[in-house]
Amino acid sequence: MRYQHVCLEAVTHTLPPNVVTSDDIEQQLEPVYSRLHLPQGRLELMTGIIERRFFDPGVLPGDVSAATASAALEESGLCRSTIGALIHGSVCRDQLEPATAAGVHARVGGLPREAFVLDVSNACLGLLNGMVMIADMIELGRIQAGIVVGTETGRSLVERTVESLIEDKSLTRQSIKGAFASLTIGSGSAAVVLCDRRLSRTGHRFLGGEFRSDTASHLLCKGGELHSSDGDSRPLMETDSEALLHAGIALAEATWERARATLCWQNEDVDAVYTHQVGKQHRSMLMQRLGLDPGLDFPTVERFGNTGAAALPMAMSLGLEQSPPSSGDHLALLGIGSGLNSLMLGIEAG
């Protein structure tokens, strides 16, 4: 896919207020660690995650998304009447029906009633998929501008995982591995505004990219149990982390090769990289297999954990804030999500 008329106008993020360290989680799991003779520090050692953040208990994703979207719209400087689409793209949402996007649209205020308002769900790629959908509509001339926003609230997943591990007396050193990825989850929120080039003040051209899937690997990570026999509606997740790592990296390599051809880029043309981050091993292996300089990446997983669909746009928002690009810089967005799906996109700074 290639775009001629789409610009990236704003990227913003919202950080949760509550910091929970990997040491904090392991202290809660001390009975399990003692029984299985697991060394303290294992979680940080395996993942590189020092801490993650959570929103306050009971906070709805839509409430945070509304604040993040409002901040993005303010940053863009666009008149709200020009926003022809609002997409909510995180895994977490307020309820199954109606779309969380509807509540966000109402809370933000000032957005057109004729705007497309919908949720998009695709594991950790939801916000990137939303970007592509909005870009398609802009390119076709259906809308002038749009916003995709999402908020991941990982508190309930981590807390229920800890409780289930403590309660499971049949747990072994082998069976606990499937739950470790759940302990890496954090929370966060991000929003991206795209618009027609004629409205743009940044001149950051959204060039396009490529998508590729490996659905034979769709069972390597599965979660989101909404109802259980004990009446606990909090989610659980089971992950074959090692198999997922290797399958995801292989898919990423194939997708990046296609994306470079579509964008007419060589690795030497890339000036900054923003990735979906799940751990230090994943990031290191990804950059190595793609042949990219690790120094181009903007790591966030050590401080925020795996924040799902918000991870990549959060990293981009933080990275652009810390190191604004120069005109002509090429920014690569390298997305991978359970399913498996990979979406890799390119931006040329204005």
What is the C-alpha to C-alpha distance for residues 86 and 193, in angstroms, rounded to an integer? 9
Strands 83-88 and 116-119: parallel
Burial class (CB in 10 A: 0-12, 13-18, 19+), 311: buried
Distance of CA 56 to CAs 64, 77, 137, 181, 304, Å?
11, 30, 36, 22, 15
The residues, ordered by sequence, that sit 6+ positions from 60 with a Cβ below 8 Å of its Cβ are 94, 153
Q: Which of 95, 123, 247 is nearest to 185 (CA)?
A: 123
Cα 210 to its chain centre, rounded Å, is: 17
What is the C-alpha to C-alpha distance for residues 205 and 330, in angstroms, rounded to an integer? 10
The residues assigned a catalytic role are: 97, 124
Cis bond leading into 98, ω under 30°? yes
